[in-house]
Amino acid sequence: MPKKLKLAVSQSRTLDTLQQTLDALAATTRKAASQNVDLVLFPEAYLGGYPRTCDFGASVGARAPHGRDQFLEYFHAAVDLGDTPLGAGDDWVDRKLPTAKGREYRGDGTREFLERVARETGVFIVTGLVERCGGSLYCGVVYVCPRYGCIGKRRKLMPTGSERLVWAQGQASSLRAVTTEIKGVQLCLAAAICWENYMPLLRYSLYSQNVNLYLAPTADARDTWEPLMRTVASESRAFVLSANQCVRKSHLPAWISVGKKVEEPKALTRTSTSSTSPSRRRKSVVMEGTHELVLPDPSDDKGSDKSAIAEDNSADEFVCRGGSCIIGPMGNVLAGSLWEVEDGFIAVDVDFEDYERGRLDIDVAGSYSRNDAFHLTVDGLDLNPPPF
């Protein structure tokens, strides 16, 4: 009997404030509910923002003061989910951590907001976020069930490139898959964030847990991303959802440009009146009696106009082109990739029996694994499939 669900990916971008972004997430989730979507994925760092192009004033062996001001802005934009720096795992999920006197809950209320949206819409929400915990920031993903609220959360193990300056490393134990049941369909889902998908052992740790829905929120907008997602689907025989933001330069927060070097205007020079530059004199100097009147050079005006136009065009350029997609268990593209589509949204009906059909010829963590010869262990993580 078919095991059908409707899965969606939202190519949403972070807005100016956390509350605006949360409201946009709620609106998108309501839209998903109106289309009978069962689960929706939002991009990496959607809540809190991906600080694209920001250098935080850092170079090897040096830190510029403006970079600390940028980090302050970014730190304040992140969400507080009430977890601990080491990650409290099930104690966080089950709300067993102590709360401050007089407080109803831990954190800034983002968890409670997401749980309320999921409950009211009936849509399972998975979103990327930047989590503030203690004095550090973590790139994370949270799984929000309409019935049980947050049933899991994880933090990116290995921030990529310059991300390492502002994001701490997450815990391997958070790679634990989560299970749920939607419309009688049993799901085992887990997320690999952006370039974690280039880590073969990390991917295998998810395959080992018998994941049938593989989530890949990302910030990678290169055309090499879709082939990677097709590879993941082919390896795992799972459905793969990948969500990215589509962002123009003008969408970036104003604080990102603070401290950036800008081209200084050319110094004004006095026009020569000597006979060595007759052409310049003819264009910009008018004689009135014995006095010279220096007029603006029309060619300079044209140059200024061109510069202004170029600046406007630059602000309109995409700094992230999106590329969100949905891939089937045989590596086939079911929807997307969405390139240069702002506020994009794709949804497809899928049959999870296709995941089981794909196991006829390959189960990379089971019958195809040669586990008599190869072994993977992950500190703090049980690689056995979680119970339903």
Q: How far apart are CA 127 and CA 182, in angstroms?
A: 18
Q: pLDDT digits over 226-250, tens only?
A: 999 999 999 999 999 999 999 999 9
Structure tokens at 297: 């050079």
**Residue range 323-341: mean pLDDT, rounded:** 96
pLDDT for res 315? 73
Is 12 strand, coil or helix? coil
**Residue range 8-19: mean pLDDT, rounded:** 97
With beta carbons less than 8 A apart as the criterion, state whether 365 and 208 touch. Answer: yes
Among residues 3, 6, 153, 156, the one annotated as catalytic is 156
Burial bucket for residue 266 (CB in 10 Å: 0-12, 13-18, 19+): exposed
With beta carbons less than 8 A apart as the criterion, state whether 48 and 20 touch. Answer: no
Strand partners for 348:
7
pLDDT for res 296? 55
pLDDT for res 258? 77
- pLDDT exceeding 70 applies to what percent of the chain? 86
Confidence band, pLDDT 50/70/90 cuts, at residue 53: very high
The answer to whether residue 194 is catalytic is yes
The answer to whether residue 44 is catalytic is yes
Q: Which amino acid is at 29?
A: T
**Residue range 195-199: mean pLDDT, rounded:** 97
Q: pLDDT digits over 302-312, tens only?
A: 555 555 555 56
Of 149, 148, 141, nearest to 114 by C-alpha is 149
Among residues 145, 150, 194, 320, the one annotated as catalytic is 194
Among residues 6, 44, 188, 226, the one annotated as catalytic is 44
According to the 3-state scheme, what is the secondary structure of 99-160? CCCCCCCCCCCHHHHHHHHHHHHCCEEEEEEEEEECCEEEEEEEEEECCCEEEEEEECCCCC
Q: What is the DSSP letter of 172?
A: G
pLDDT for res 267? 46
**Residue range 92-107: mean pLDDT, rounded:** 93
Q: How far apart are CA 329 and CA 354, in angstroms?
A: 7
pLDDT for res 2? 80
Identify the CATH homologous superfamily for domain 4-257+319-360: Carbon-nitrogen hydrolase (3.60.110.10)
**Residue range 158-184: mean pLDDT, rounded:** 96
Whether pLDDT at 104 is above 70:
yes
Whether pLDDT at 170 is above 50:
yes
Confidence band, pLDDT 50/70/90 cuts, at residue 196: very high
Whether pLDDT at 127 is above 50:
yes
Whether pLDDT at 22 is above 70:
yes
The two counts, helices (H) then strands (E), for the chain are 10, 17
The answer to whether residue 188 is catalytic is no
Is 269 strand, coil or helix? coil
Which is more confidently placed, 286 or 31?
A: 31
With beta carbons less than 8 A apart as the criterion, state whether 111 and 81 touch. Answer: yes
**Residue range 95-108: mean pLDDT, rounded:** 92
Q: How far apart are CA 126 and CA 153, in angstroms?
A: 10
Q: pLDDT digits over 244-278, tens only?
A: 999 999 999 999 987 765 444 444 444 444 444 44
Domain definitions of the chain by residue range: 4-257+319-360, 278-314
Q: How far apart are CA 238 and CA 192, in angstroms?
A: 13
Contacting residues for 220 by C-beta, under 8 A, at least 6 apart: 194, 195, 244, 323
Strand partners for 39:
7, 124
Confidence band, pLDDT 50/70/90 cuts, at residue 280: very low
Confidence band, pLDDT 50/70/90 cuts, at residue 336: confident
Mean predicted lDDT score pLDDT of the chain: 89
Whether pLDDT at 356 is above 50:
yes
pLDDT for res 271? 43
Whether pLDDT at 101 is above 70:
yes
